[in-house]
Amino acid sequence: MDPKPWLVLIVFFAICLSAGGLGSFFTANSVREWYPRLRKPPGTPPSWVFGPVWTTLYVLMAISAWLVWRDYGWGARSALLIFFAQLALNVAWSGIFFGSRMPGVALAEITILWLAIAFNIFVFYGLQSTAALLLLPYLLWVTYATYLNFGIWRLNRQ
């Protein structure tokens, strides 16, 4: 058995989980100091939910990108670049919302992120349907996060 595909899967895990770690870096201080003082919309989950959900989503994202790579290699460069672009937008949202504490700007950015994920799903579906389906929970969570971001922005405008 060729070990290379499994090594590439590990690389995809490392990239996606590192993106989550970078997002956590932006989030850490604000989650302790700023976020607890904000008024939040109905349906906001307890803080402990976010870590396990995001970890699961990053794992699914890594598997999704790997499935496309496994079937097409770097011949799917454009599709994988779209994947990495939406991953960068994901990290940027954490930096804007938590790092800069700018929910209004973060709302605009998360809307772009949502569109990028939807486009990523569309592109992946044309190549590898399972890879696209693995991104659906991510799109659903970002839809929910958009609701939360909107609610926090609306409830805390000054």
Residue 1's pLDDT band (cuts 50, 70, 90): low
Whole-angstrom distance, CA of residue 120 vs CA of residue 75:
16
| Type of residue found at 55 | T
How far is it, in rounded angstroms, from Cα 36 to Cα 118? 31
> Cα(98)–Cα(35) distance, rounded to whole angstroms?
8
Q: What is the pLDDT of residues 54-66, one digit of tens each?
A: 999 999 999 999 9
pTM over 0.85: yes
Q: What is the pLDDT of residues 88-115, one digit of tens each?
A: 999 999 999 999 999 999 999 999 999 9
pLDDT, tens only, 121-149: 999 999 999 999 999 999 999 999 999 99
Contact 11, 82 (CB under 8 A): no
**What is the three-state SS of 15-66?**
HHHHHHHHHHHHHHHHHHHCHHHCCCCCCCCCHHHHHHHHHHHHHHHHHHHH
Q: What domains can be seen in the chain, in order of their start residue?
A: 4-155 (1.20.1260.100)
Which residues are CB-contacts of 28 (< 8 A; sequence separation ≥ 6)? Answer: none
Nearest to 132 by CA among 74, 71, 73: 71
Confidence of residue 3 (pLDDT cuts 50, 70, 90): low
Angle in degrees, CA 138, 71, 80, rounded to 5: 50
| Burial label, 121 (beta-carbon count in 10 A; 0-12, 13-18, 19+) | buried
